[in-house]
Amino acid sequence: MMSSESSSLQTASGDAAASKGKVSFFQANKSLIQISVLSGCGVACTLAFEKARVFDPSVIQDQMDFSRFVMLKMFLTAVTTGLVSMSALSIIPATKQKFMIARDAFVGPLKCKGILSSAIGGALLGMGMTISGTCPGMVFVQIGGGVSNAVYTLAGGFAGVLVYGLVEPFIRSAIRPAQPAKHHWMDHYLGMNFASVALPLAVVIGSVVAAVEYYVPWSTEVVTSNTGNFLTVPSWSPIVSGMMIGLAQVPLVLTVDDTLGSTTAYRTILAQLIPNSLSKKLLSYFHGIQNNMDSWWQVIYLGSIMITAYVSASLSHNYNSVQGVSIPSSLIGGFLLLFGSRLASGCTSGHGLSGLALLKVLSFVNVPAIFAGAMGLQFIRNLL
């Protein structure tokens, strides 16, 4: 007959083995889970972009001289929803650590950046938006949706990242802050907890969206239809689309420990095309890019965006129906988009949607610079 001590040891051993089995199962399926979540977020965000009509270059350009407000409503709603979502993650005990890890991941590439690089990079990105009528992540929506000349914007973007990689060592030494930032986060700067800053800010931004929508209803700015289901109608409210994008931050934080962004994907793809010997000597910016989920998750996310854009545009009979900008504008705009984004280490998704939602101090410099560059150039274009 087995002693009670022996029985207890076997029970404990069995529990440990079971526990180990659970961990091994999770680790074995971690990549599959991440890919599934990334694809799902890509689907949700693409539907939001395509149905809000912000993949149309004219909608983005019209925002810059306030002819239309669709982009502003979607963007600010996404930021508002992101602030609320991040507040929830920062408060709930089970997700608080994930929130902190995602914050650390966000600030990593920005440690060598300062106000100057954020402002100049943002202004260049904004000018690229006005010229090309898109932003780094939206390019993939445009390609999937059949927007003419979008592939040239993508080519210009890759050229921008490549040139930035060539000059990055010189830029880094020229504009690197003399001292590291004392406070990376707005809540730390104010000496308050995250939710105490994020939630009042969400109320203010949400009120701005409500006021703009009241005076300029979205249905007066884009083509709408009362027939068809939610997938086949030509457009949705930008407020609904913005909420979808803001909520997409949550599964990303919980599975890949990161937030929405797109420009790192350009660097990752180029790194695979540059011989290791060349990148080590001349293009150190692309050297040592790891072939793991930390480097590739944005590529998977953007790939799902392109596929979903094609399906969504086809279902609503919008595929290949949107006129893009000229080839020279696509190339020049794409170049500025990605050169500026890499200089600032973030784009309209990275700094705009994620950085503001995380209360990153430099994002509050970068985003106004983006719109200042975009609106300033559009004002000049309208005068010519």
Answer whether residue 379 shows pLDDT above 90: yes
pLDDT mean over 279-296: 75
- Which pLDDT value is given to residue 25? 46
Closest CA to 189 of 366, 54, 361: 361
- Which pLDDT value is given to residue 34? 85
DSSP state of 110: G
Answer whether residue 292 shows pLDDT above 90: no
- Which pLDDT value is given to residue 290? 67
Count of CB atoms within 10 A of residue 240's CB?
15
pLDDT tens sequence across 198-227? 999 999 999 999 999 999 999 999 888 766
Closest CA to 214 of 222, 224, 206, 204: 206
pLDDT tens sequence across 29-59? 777 888 889 899 999 999 999 889 899 999 9
- Which pLDDT value is given to residue 90? 97
**What is the rounded distance in angstroms from the CA atom of residue 189 to the CA atom of residue 87?**
17
Q: What are phi and psi of 358, to 5 degrees?
A: -95, -5
Instruction: Identify whether the C-beta of residue 382 lies closer than 8 Å to the C-beta of residue 135.
Output: no
pLDDT tens sequence across 254-282? 998 889 889 889 999 998 888 877 776 67
Instruction: Identify whether the C-beta of residue 255 lies closer than 8 Å to the C-beta of residue 94.
Output: no
pLDDT mean over 83-95: 97
Instruction: Identify whether the C-beta of residue 271 lies closer than 8 Å to the C-beta of residue 286.
Output: yes
Answer whether residue 7 shows pLDDT above 70: no
pLDDT tens sequence across 235-254? 899 999 999 999 999 999 99
CA dihedral for 359, 364, 370, 372, sign (positive or negative): positive
